[in-house]
């Protein structure tokens, strides 16, 4: 089947016809919207994506024929492809990402705000004719299983076939979603163009894009418009744009949480299961924990999700969570058998790699995949590379896109539309100083306070003091679609809707504390299961803890260290609490809160005052 057979030619004066669904009346609004966008962008043709395997295969064949994808050697990586982006289009463009709420205060100081009327005029100009010579794909997608009680749906219009293939891996795409729209389900509108129209007969670029880039969110009307980039979350709008920025607004209005969190099931030696969600900023071990292989005999971890969790209070007084995504969009460098063997095994085939290196045998490689680099590669820009080249072979933000079902430790019920009940929520950052290996919040409000103060240090650990902090509260700083002070307040209010004895326990973890010599004090990776073990035993009520001014830490001897060698001095340092350093950290928190003016919830300023009170009363 040639993909072109399913296209409908379109011009501003040509009817698009009906999408493939018998219920036309309920789809009238969608069809009218598609026709309006087509009239603006002027594509040569429109294709309604049905999500079938045949359609996807045809799409990939055409991308290979056009030189936009390289098919990898099926002997090593069956069903897999390599894309090379333009060097100027390699990551999220946070400086060009905007929240276009009606009122600037609703976006808050941590977002780039722009007036809706102003930016709509700009976008109309940019998108006018932006799809000439190209195909407009209509991609109906569901975040969460189609029709599930915790799921939400949307439609992306895009002129990027690479984006279509990626959305098909990261979400549920197809006519089932159109049926939901036909039945009146609400849906989010997203529009994406690479911003590279083609004149008749003009050759296309291998990676079309535009130097001018915008990613604009309209939280009041539940829309996203993205222009100029074909990369990652700039083009796969269902991911960060909808599943976090727009979903956080929907969650605020409907009483639930859209979070930048992994989701796992931990099974203890007796077979009892516990469910944990964890929010870590970039480069803090999130994917590794999502695919953890415990080193403690008898413990198992099943993966439910590696990046996003939607959490709702249930009628039973507990919090229930789903992973709304259908795939993994992970950073390749640093992913290897020594760090995350589960991820490596997941990538055996049916994967789209972007900006990694190509081996002579038609497989891929990136820094960290193996201890030693191959003697010769083609780098992510298509140039010859050897270990003596003095530059990375793969881009530091190179990616893999793969279906979650391929993960060898994916939970059998990972797509259960009702989700799983949460037992614990973890927050963590990359802190070389101050923050203990693990810390338990005293209650929900204290846990929200901990989440609001998450940060990573920019300075070297050898300095031994609190350095300049890169704030990333709840790991949501780039992804919250509204004022983050209001978001803190929303967390507090959601906590009031669950029973205090059934609410998830909240913990802060830090795998990255260093000694004065710059050495990591904790072995990390699979050994992090020992921290999870203590957390589970806290939930069970069998692990003792010690109260400190900043929260509860493991009592001496309560961490299971059988089989590993952590010197007593290192263990002491992992849990050392320096009063003066924490008082300085409290001052930094106050400065951060002050950026939000009077919108910071009183409960959090009270937590900060209580922290100072406890610290000043603590012995030196």
Task: Tell me the catalytic residues.
Answer: 284
Helices within 128-213 (DSSP H only) = 161-170, 175-182
Cβ distance 551 to 446 under 8 Å?
yes
- Cα separation, 264 vs 306, whole angstroms: 8
Helices within 3-115 (DSSP H only) = 28-41, 53-65, 104-107
In terms of phi and psi (left: phi > 0; alpha: psi -120 to 50; beta: otherwise), the region of 474 is left
- Cα separation, 12 vs 30, whole angstroms: 16
Helices and strands per DSSP (H, E), number in the chain? 16, 32
- Cα separation, 270 vs 136, whole angstroms: 54
CB-neighbour burial class of residue 458 (10 A; exposed 0-12, middle 13-18, buried 19+) = exposed
CA 139, 140, 143, 145 torsion-angle sign: negative
- Cα separation, 133 vs 555, whole angstroms: 67
> What is the token pair recorded at 449?
């306070």
Q: Other C-beta atoms within 10 Å of 243: how many?
A: 31
- Cα separation, 524 vs 512, whole angstroms: 8
Residue given tokens 């090379």 in the structure block: 84
Closest by alpha carbon to 278, among 266, 268, 290? 290
**β strands within 49-199, DSSP E:** 70-71, 81-83, 97-99, 135-143, 152-158, 172-173, 187-193
Distances 556 to 32, 534, 543, 615 between C-alpha atoms, Å = 66, 12, 11, 21
Cβ distance 583 to 615 under 8 Å?
yes
Strand pairing category for 384-385 and 319-322: unpaired
Cβ distance 168 to 160 under 8 Å?
no
- Cα separation, 436 vs 429, whole angstroms: 11
- Cα separation, 196 vs 208, whole angstroms: 6
Cβ distance 209 to 89 under 8 Å?
yes
- Cα separation, 3 vs 365, whole angstroms: 31
Distances 88 to 115, 198, 205, 368 between C-alpha atoms, Å = 27, 20, 14, 24
Closest by alpha carbon to 21, among 170, 155, 145, 151? 155
Cβ distance 138 to 187 under 8 Å?
no
SS3 readout for 574-609 = HCCCCHHHHHHHHHHHHHHHHCCHHHCCHHHHHHHH
Q: Which residues contact 589 (CB under 8 A, 6 or more apart)?
A: 453, 608
Closest by alpha carbon to 324, among 303, 304, 309, 306? 309
SS3 readout for 363-421 = CEECCCCCCCCCCCEECCCCCEECCCCCCCCCCCCCEEEEEHHHCCCECCCCCCCCCEE
């Amino acid at each position: 089947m040639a993909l072109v057979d399913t296209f409908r030619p379109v011009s501003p004066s040509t009817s698009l016809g009906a999408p493939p669904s018998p219920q036309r009346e309920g789809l009238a609004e969608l069809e009218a919207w598609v026709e309006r966008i087509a009239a603006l962008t002027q594509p040569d043709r429109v294709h309604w994506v049905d999500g079938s395997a045949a359609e996807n295969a045809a799409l990939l064949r055409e991308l290979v024929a056009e030189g936009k994808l390289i098919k990898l050697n099926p002997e090593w990586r069956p069903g897999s492809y390599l894309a090379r982006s333009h060097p100027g289009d390699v990551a999220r463009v946070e400086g060009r990402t905007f929240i276009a709420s009606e009122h600037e205060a609703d976006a808050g100081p941590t977002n780039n705000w722009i007036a809706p009327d102003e930016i709509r005029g700009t976008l109309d100009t940019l998108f006018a004719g932006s799809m000439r010579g190209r195909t407009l794909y209509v991609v109906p997608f569901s975040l969460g299983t189609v029709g599930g009680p915790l799921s939400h749906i949307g439609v992306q219009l895009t002129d990027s076939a690479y984006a279509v293939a990626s959305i098909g891996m990261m979400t549920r795409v197809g006519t089932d979603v159109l049926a939901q729209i036909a039945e009146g389900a609400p849906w989010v509108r997203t529009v994406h163009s690479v911003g590279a129209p083609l004149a008749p007969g003009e050759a296309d670029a291998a990676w079309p894009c535009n130097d001018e880039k915008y990613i604009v969110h309209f939280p009041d009307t539940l829309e996203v418009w993205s222009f100029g980039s074909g990369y990652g979350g700039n083009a796969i709008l269902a991911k960060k744009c909808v599943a976090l920025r727009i979903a956080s607004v929907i969650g605020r209005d409907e009483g639930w949480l859209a979070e930048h969190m992994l989701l796992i099931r931990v099974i203890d030696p007796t077979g009892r299961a516990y469910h944990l969600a964890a929010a870590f900023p970039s480069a803090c071990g999130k994917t590794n924990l999502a695919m953890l292989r415990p080193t403690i005999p008898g413990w198992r971890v099943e993966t439910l999700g590696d990046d996003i969790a939607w959490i709702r209070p249930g009628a039973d007084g507990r919090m229930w969570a789903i992973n709304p995504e259908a795939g993994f969009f992970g950073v390749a460098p640093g992913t290897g058998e020594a760090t995350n063997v589960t991820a490596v095994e997941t990538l055996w085939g049916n994967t789209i790699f972007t900006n990694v290196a190509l081996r002579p045998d038609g497989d891929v490689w990136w820094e960290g995949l193996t201890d030693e680099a191959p003697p010769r590669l083609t780098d992510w820009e298509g140039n010859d590379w050897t270990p003596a080249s003095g530059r990375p072979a793969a881009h530091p933000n190179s990616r893999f896109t793969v279906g979650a079902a391929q993960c060898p430790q994916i939970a059998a019920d990972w797509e259960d539309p009702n989700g799983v009940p949460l037992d614990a929520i973890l927050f963590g950052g990359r802190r070389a100083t101050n923050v203990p290996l693990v810390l338990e919040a005293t209650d929900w409000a204290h846990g929200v306070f901990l989440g609001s103060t998450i940060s990573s240090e920019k300075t070297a650990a050898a300095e031994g003091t609190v350095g300049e902090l890169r704030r990333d509260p709840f790991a949501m700083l780039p992804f919250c679609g509204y004022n983050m002070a209001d978001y803190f307040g929303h967390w507090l209010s959601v906590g009031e809707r669950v029973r205090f004895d059934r609410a998830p326990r909240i913990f802060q973890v830090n795998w990255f504390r260093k000694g004065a010599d710059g050495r990591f004090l904790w072995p990390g990776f699979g050994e992090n299961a020992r921290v999870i073990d203590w957390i589970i035993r806290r939930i069970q009520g069998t692990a003792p803890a010690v109260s400190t001014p900043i929260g509860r830490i493991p009592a001496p001897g309560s961490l299971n260290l059988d089989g590993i060698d952590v010197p007593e001095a290192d263990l002491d340092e992992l849990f050392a609490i320096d009063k003066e350093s924490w008082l300085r950290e409290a001052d930094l928190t106050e400065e951060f809160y002050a950026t939000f003016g009077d919108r910071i919830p009183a409960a959090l300023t009270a937590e900060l005052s209580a922290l100072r009170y406890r610290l000043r009363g603590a012995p030196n």
